[in-house]
A and B are shown apart, each in its own frame.
Chain A
Amino acid sequence: MTATDPIQSDISIHVDRLTFDGTMLFDGLNFALPAGKWTCLMGVSGVGKSTLLRLVAGLMPEETAMTIKAPESGLEGQIAYMAQDDLLLPWLTVYENVVLGARLRGDEFSPGRVLHLLEQLDLLRSAYDLPATLSGGMRQRAALARTLMEDRPVVLMDEPFSALDTITRVRLQDLAAEMLRDRTVLLVTHDPLEAFRLADRIHVMSGRPAVLFEPIEPAGESPRDMRDPDLLAGQAELLERLTRSKAVA
């Protein structure tokens, strides 16, 4: 049984020390994800945003010195993952890709739910097509459908929309914001506008070893209106923080 009521507990992580390729990425980093909110991670390329996300996702080798301080039961089975690559299996139809998780685990699932999700994401007509026939935006929508199908309380997204054109990206941001509203989301992104439109809390990560600056907390509900002057001001401030942060490459 998947949780239909999300974990409403904050997530707190401590990374002891993480070396990658001879450089020390993290040295005693504390990181928190408030429950039911969108947290955004930004920073220059190579600072360790994706690495931190992968740590939370449990995708790094076990030897990594990371402890999950909260929730006590850990994050096993609580995570849904979305990457920049839609990761749709090319030999499966959109429908089959959406139910991939259930198939891998041997779980039952409700076909009605799948079709409903596809309808909400405007993919019903392509349900039995192969991913190769879909546009980039449609493919990421399918990936979003797969993520929603997993119905996990925590959603980790690693630059999920950066490969899309601007218009498609904005549409997908709106969709994601709406459909993942009450989940605990960690979003890694390059795009300050995206961060400001979607996040409840924005961290800029900087330096080697990486540290997190004090978070910016945009006001109002996401997805925020692009014409909002507060949003434009916030985006400018964010951009300034990013340019001030030290280059690491």
Chain B
Amino acid sequence: MRLIRPLIITVGLILAWQAVVSLTEVPFFILPSPMLVAMAMIEHADTLLEDGLVTLGEILGGLFLGIILGTSSALVMGLFRPARQWLMPVMVVSQAIPVFALAPILVLWIGYGIGSKIAMATLIIYFPVTAALFDGLRRTNPGYLDLARTMNASRWAVLRRIRIPAAMPSFASGVRVATAAAPIGAIVGEWVGASHGLGALMLHSSGRTQIDVMFAALLVLAVMAVLLYFSVDRLLRRLLAWSPDSLPSND
């Protein structure tokens, strides 16, 4: 029932894809047909799987590290005014630099392996996560804080039992953005310099005019990213069941 719509969309996209290929007679090295890509996927299944797992590892590693660093930063800034005053300008400046421009530097410093890709993904999501949590902490309903004050709560108790839970919906938005952005970091890192991973595979197969393999890798990446996003979204919605959607439909 709920799966039918995405299924129809997917089938529709594939049909549209096939239609474009058939009608425009575009050469296979520009846009291969769905059939060719499917065959490439079967033929190179083990490579796709291996590289897929590498990229997935980079994405998850970046997400994990980025979320931990972002959360810590936001908490520190929320608790200590000097931290706010010194860290905030640094963070804003760091966002002004296009993160992709740092990719070659990271590969230079950290190497060709997955470390530099994890670092890329971490860098991309650090600011959105920090900003989302910090914003949530800042915007606690003042009524709650008044109530806590009359109850003689300590600052720590207020942070732990009121500010942090109240900030979770905002934080969740940051995590969603991070989940969508992390794959970008991983792939860009791979393009700049890597021997494993779906991004590397795309680049190398393009170099060898194996466009069908390139598209196959792209498809696997797309499916992976979409599945990851929906899993994270489901998880967040379950954890935040107390904060319902105010929009009527629930998909």
Chain A interface residues toward B at CB < 8 A: 54, 57-59, 76-77, 79-81, 83, 85, 87, 89-91, 100-101, 103-106, 130, 132, 150, 156
> Once the chains bind, are B242 and A91 in contact (CB under 8 Å)?
yes
> Once the chains bind, are A59 and B149 in contact (CB under 8 Å)?
yes
CB distance from B211 to the nearest CB of A (A): 51
Q: How far is the CA of A156 from the CA of B143 in the complex (A)?
A: 14
- Which residues of chain A are near B242, meaning CB under 8 Å? 90-91, 130, 132
CB distance from A77 to the nearest CB of B (A): 6
Interface residues of B in 129-150 (CB under 8 A from A): 141, 143-144, 146-150
Cβ 8 A contact of B157, one of A76, A104, A156: A104
Can you list 6 residue pairs at the A/B interface with Cβ under 8 Å?
A59-B146, A77-B152, A81-B147, A91-B168, A105-B157, A130-B242
Residue of B nearest to A86 (CB): B143
CB distance from A170 to the nearest CB of B (A): 25
CB distance from B242 to the nearest CB of A (A): 4
Interface of B (DSSP majority class): helix
**Which of B20-28, B77-85, B158-166 participates in binding chain A?**
B158-166
Q: How far is the CA of A103 from the CA of B161 in the complex (A)?
A: 9
Q: How far is the CA of A103 from the CA of B109 in the complex (A)?
A: 49
Chain B interface residues toward A at CB < 8 A: 141, 143-144, 146-154, 157-158, 161-162, 165-166, 168, 242-244
Cβ 8 A contact of B165, one of A54, A57, A76, A89: A89
Residue of A nearest to B168 (CB): A91
- Which residues of chain B are near A80, meaning CB under 8 Å? 150
Q: How far is the CA of A207 from the CA of B162 in the complex (A)?
A: 38
Residue of A nearest to B160 (CB): A104
CB distance from A191 to the nearest CB of B (A): 21
> Once the chains bind, are B151 and A104 in contact (CB under 8 Å)?
yes
- Which residues of chain A are near B157, meaning CB under 8 Å? 103-106
> Once the chains bind, are A59 and B152 in contact (CB under 8 Å)?
no
Cβ 8 A contact of B158, one of A57, A104, A130: A104
> Once the chains bind, are A85 and B143 in contact (CB under 8 Å)?
yes
> Once the chains bind, are B147 and A87 in contact (CB under 8 Å)?
yes
Q: How far is the CA of A37 from the CA of B161 in the complex (A)?
A: 34
Residue of A nearest to B153 (CB): A104
- Which residues of chain B are near A54, meaning CB under 8 Å? 146
Cβ 8 A contact of B244, one of A89, A105, A132: A132
Give me the 9 closest cross-chain CB pairs, A-B, nearest first.
Answer: A104-B153, A81-B150, A101-B151, A91-B242, A104-B157, A87-B143, A87-B147, A91-B165, A90-B242
> Once the chains bind, are B151 and A100 in contact (CB under 8 Å)?
yes
- Which residues of chain B are near A59, meaning CB under 8 Å? 146, 149-150
- Which residues of chain A are near B150, meaning CB under 8 Å? 57-59, 79-81, 156
Residue of B nearest to A79 (CB): B150
Q: How far is the CA of A101 from the CA of B151 in the complex (A)?
A: 6
Given contacts A89-B166, A103-B157, A132-B242, 14 further A-B contacts (CB under 8 A): A57-B150, A59-B149, A77-B152, A80-B150, A83-B143, A87-B144, A87-B147, A89-B162, A91-B242, A100-B151, A104-B148, A104-B158, A105-B154, A132-B244
Q: How far is the CA of A178 from the CA of B162 in the complex (A)?
A: 31
Residue of B nearest to A152 (CB): B150
Q: How far is the CA of A91 from the CA of B141 in the complex (A)?
A: 13
> Once the chains bind, are B243 and A90 in contact (CB under 8 Å)?
yes
CB distance from B158 to the nearest CB of A (A): 7
Residue with the greatest number of chain A CB neighbours at <10 A, chosen from B143, B149, B150: B150
CB distance from A249 to the nearest CB of B (A): 22
- Which residues of chain A are near B154, meaning CB under 8 Å? 104-105
> Once the chains bind, are A89 and B144 in contact (CB under 8 Å)?
yes
CB distance from B218 to the nearest CB of A (A): 41
> Once the chains bind, are B151 and A76 in contact (CB under 8 Å)?
no
Q: How far is the CA of A89 from the CA of B203 in the complex (A)?
A: 52
Q: How far is the CA of A67 from the CA of B89 in the complex (A)?
A: 41
**Given A103-B161, A104-B153, A105-B153, A91 and B147 touching (CB < 8 A)?**
no
- Which residues of chain A are near B151, meaning CB under 8 Å? 100-101, 104-105, 150
- Which residues of chain A are near B168, meaning CB under 8 Å? 91
CB distance from B149 to the nearest CB of A (A): 6
CB distance from A38 to the nearest CB of B (A): 19
CB distance from A42 to the nearest CB of B (A): 22
